[in-house]
Chains A and B, each alone.
Chain A
Amino acid sequence: MAPKKNARESANAAPAVAAPALAEPAPVVKPAPTKPKASEASTPWDKVLINLYNHYIDETPQRTKLLDVFLVFLAAVGALQFLYCILAGNYPFNAFLSGFGATVGQFVLTISLRIQTTEANKSEFPQVSPERSFADFIVCSLILHFFCINFIN
């Protein structure tokens, strides 16, 4: 993932890239950014969000954006499952857990991949090349889905 061409493009990218994409996922995170918006609803917050958005659009390499789309998809699926569990009950609890676990696990693995392939984080991972991190990602996903399928009943 994140081959050299993109890496060169984003060589000057600022350290922090994804924000809005990450604001969606994980039910824990989600309510928090919206709450201050509701309470204050004044210009600074709008500005902040617009800033974030522009920053993201400008500074993120194409491949990372692709990953972010996948993340949004995972977050949506996870949220859907969670909603179903709350509304319709958790009867096949095995199935719910493995489905939800699969999305959450895939989500964090993808974020990990995203972190490791982001150029700005290079210094933190001296021993992990983008190719290596993609291989890791594949192996971990395989393990994850093996467990999920085994658990789904």
Chain B
Amino acid sequence: MAVATQGASSGINGQNTRTLLRVSILFLIAAAAVASRLFSVIRFESIIHEFDPWFNFRATKYLVANGFYKFWDWFDDRTWHPLGRVTGGTLYPGLMVTSGVIYHALRALTVPVDIRNICVLLAPAFSGLTAYAAYLLTNEMTTSSSAGLLAAAFMGITPGYISRSVAGSYDNEAIAIFLLVFTFYLWIKALKLGSMLWGALCALFYGYMVASWGGYAFITCILPLHAFVLIGMGRFSNRLYVSYTTWYALGTLASMQIPFVGFLPVKTSEHMPALGIFGFVQLVGFLQYVRSSMSAKQFKTFVITVIVGAVGIGLAGLVGLTSLGYIAPWSGRFYSLWDTGYAKIHIPIIASVSEHQPTAWPAFFFDLNMLIWLFPAGVYLCFQDLRDEHVFVVVYALFGSYFAGVMVRLMLTLTPIVCVAAAMAASQILDTYLSAKKPNVEEVADAGSTDAKPVKTSGLRVASKPAVGIFTFVSKALVVGGMAVYLLLFVSHCTWVTSNAYSSPSVVLASRMPDGSQHIIDDYREAYQWLRQNTKEDAKIMSWWDYGYQIGGMADRPTLVDNNTWNNTHIATVGKAMSSSEEVSYPIMRQHEVDYVLVVFGGLLGYSGDDINKFLWMVRIAEGIWPEEVKERNFFTSRGEYRVDAEATDTMKNSLMYKMSYYNYHSLFPAGQTVDRVRGSRLPDQGPVLNTIEEAYTTENWIIRIYKVKDLDNVGRDLFSAASFDRGQKKKSSKKKGPRVLRVD
């Protein structure tokens, strides 16, 4: 593919041929982008991945089955039992509506297609469009014809974007990145032409973006920032006024149409920069008018009084309204962007999600490979003729890099600009070294002399381009050859990363048998299928929130908590039930009408993403609400170790999670050889005893274990004595367990 794009820049004459070539290359790039995302479908099957996509899939099915208006008013009583969730008003509907429209359109064309396949293939399809959007955006930045194609190719296959858009990862980002890039393209276009229509288009796509992804705040902040930087550079123009005000006025109203966003654009601090710049642009525009009809001195005092007055009033208003509570201050998620330690202290539920962690530096290289070192070069090239759109690249690059460094998942927002900038740098190199013409000696001398006088006033002087050509064939061949090798390496790296790191559905696990053949571990679906077939339609399943969406999507059973995490207290309740002893947990489960408890246990297989490893987060979140009853310290040994073997603390051993994970586990092994393969520790021969719940199902590889919560004893005993009676113990031994008491540590 890289070779194909190089071909475009090498001289082929005729406008038509070039256009044809360009179109076919773009199609090839789109095809490559789609194809490289299909690893998971080919290797496993057409299946929805991970966690959040399962909710989106379920919502899409609901939309397709019940129509748009019912979807809009959807109150879901099968999640967050017993609270329920106003799903229609608390989701970003863009993704579901998009697939719903595609579904109905295909049906209207009598293409019999399953909604699941649309959902699975939506992300790859949109990645082709993203590549095209990157092409358009880059073409606005530079005149080089190859840069856009290179950007499209980079965008199509860079792992930073593939990570969120492989087939089956049916998440908001699947369409949001396309919308992000396309909105930026429209913004640049609007700014360049000063056209209301392009501004309105930008606002419409911004509205679509708002409907699709919470990351729209990125656009809401970058565009005003760009406008502000331009004004600060003394580049206010009527074009800026027209495009910015059109975008803001229409875009804000468009964003308010989404019930989940609603009044936020006028009520939260994240949106205030856009509003402030809107006012500021009005002010500057007004001053621009007044300017010519006044003498310079009058104008100066006029400007100072007006600006100081307006900015003062605006700031005072903002502070006043915030302190009066009309405008919400920055939200916790936003604070954690500035202070990476903030979430860990104040909102454990945000910190507990691995994609909210700060980025490790190898991740940049892993996700962007050679683009990451071409990126600064591209940004530098933008300084050469610093037009308005180049300022945008610089601003975006700065902020994108910062945010990508703070949070792993924001790598996604950095990727487009990296592709654009890197493509500019790469095409600059290729254009310079690929031209077959030998430069004329006189021309070069001429260029040297013109270079001395400052031709470009807008760009930085140091960055102005010396117009000297390359003479020898050897250096041309060397540089072009080197570049080609890098491009090929990039392609192979992208393919390798995509195939190895980003194509696992995580619902189905793959492992290698000793003979090298693939072995599929399908415990998740086994367990969910069991739930679907063997439990009542309204049996409530309690599990940690990670699995809520999957249970809802695959098993179709009500859950207590899910990945929406809108109610921290409810999650903490589940955390408390999991981390307390049975005496405490049982009443909690009864109160929430829990029928089954589901835990994920990887000890047998060495699957490290299991509940015991997540257990400390449950404890922390529960401790945030009940600091008296759940204490993280009690789960560590006196030497501060987190252990699960015989040395584990009593609190740990008595916790429901520990008991459920290791119940009966020792029976798999000969005496004295019980081993937990994840934590690499040897477990005691005597396993935990369960009194209030009973094992209902355990999957083939023990990854998922399901327990049934016992009903009250029908002779009126408490469950502990009933259980010990069943075990044939004397009543006396369990006598001390009378009324429910808290653990005594």
Residue ranges of A at the interface with B (Cβ–Cβ < 8 Å): 14-19, 22-23, 26, 28-29, 31-33, 35-36, 44, 48, 51-52, 55, 93, 97-98, 101, 104-105, 108-109, 111-113, 115-116, 121, 124-125, 127-128, 132-133, 135-137, 139-140, 143-144, 147-148, 150-151
Contacts and interface: CB of A to CB of B under 8 A. Distances in A.
Contacts of B204: 143
Contacts of A116: 194, 196, 238, 242
B616 interface: no
B22 interface: no
B279 A28 contact: yes
A151 B253 contact: yes
Contacts of A121: 238
Contacts of A33: 306
B196 A28 contact: no
B241 interface: yes
Describe B's contact surface by its main secondary structure: helix
A35 to B, nearest CB: 5
A22 B287 CA distance: 10
Contact of B286 (A23, A48, A97, A151): A23
Contact of B249 (A31, A104, A133): A104
A14 B263 CA distance: 42
A116 B194 CA distance: 9
A51 B293 contact: yes
A29 B282 contact: yes
Contact of B257 (A48, A144, A150): A150
Nearest to A36: B305
B424 to A, nearest CB: 24
Contact of A15 (B196, B249, B292): B292
A151 B249 contact: no
Given A22-B286, A136-B195, A139-B200, 9 more contacts: A52-B290, A112-B242, A124-B194, A136-B196, A137-B196, A143-B200, A143-B203, A144-B249, A144-B253
Nearest to B313: A31
B285 interface: yes
10 closest A-B pairs by beta carbon, nearest first, are: A105-B249, A108-B245, A136-B196, A16-B292, A147-B253, A32-B309, A32-B306, A112-B242, A136-B197, A36-B305
A144 B238 contact: no
Contacts of B288: 16
B246 A112 contact: yes
A35 B304 CA distance: 12
B102 interface: no
A125 B298 CA distance: 30
Given A93-B263, A140-B250, A143-B250, A16 B257 contact: no
The residue in B246, B288, B298 that gathers the most chain A C-beta atoms within 10 A of its C-beta is: B246
A19 B293 contact: yes
Interface in B240-255: 241-242, 245-246, 248-250, 252-254
Interface residues of B, number: 47
B283 A28 contact: yes
A16 B249 contact: no
B241 A115 contact: yes
A112 B196 contact: yes
A140 B196 contact: yes
A137 B305 CA distance: 33
Interface of B: 193-197, 199-200, 203-204, 237-239, 241-242, 245-246, 248-250, 252-254, 256-257, 263, 266, 279, 282-283, 285-286, 288-294, 298, 301-302, 305-306, 309-310, 313-314
Nearest to B279: A28
B293 A55 contact: yes
A83 to B, nearest CB: 15
B292 A14 contact: yes
Contacts of A32: 283, 305-306, 309-310, 313
B189 to A, nearest CB: 11
Given A16-B290, A140-B199, A97 B239 contact: no
A52 B293 contact: yes
A93 B264 CA distance: 12
B250 A105 contact: yes
7 contacts: A18-B289, A32-B306, A36-B306, A108-B249, A135-B197, A136-B195, A140-B246
A151 B256 contact: yes
B290 A19 contact: yes
Contacts of B248: 108
A113 to B, nearest CB: 8
Contacts of A127: 193, 195
B305 A111 contact: no
A101 B263 CA distance: 12
Contacts of B200: 136, 139-140, 143
A101 B282 CA distance: 15
Contacts of B279: 26, 28
Nearest to B267: A93
Contacts of A101: 249, 252-253, 256
A33 B286 CA distance: 11
A61 B345 CA distance: 63
A62 B292 CA distance: 20
Contacts of B199: 140
B93 to A, nearest CB: 14
B501 to A, nearest CB: 42
A150 B255 CA distance: 12
A128 B195 contact: yes
A85 B454 CA distance: 56
A35 B305 contact: yes
Contacts of A125: 193-195, 238-239
Contacts of B256: 97, 101, 147, 151
Contacts of A26: 279, 282
Contacts of B250: 105, 140, 143-144, 147
Contacts of B298: 44, 48
Nearest to B252: A101
Contact of A140 (B197, B257, B289): B197
A28 B245 contact: no
Contacts of B257: 147, 150-151
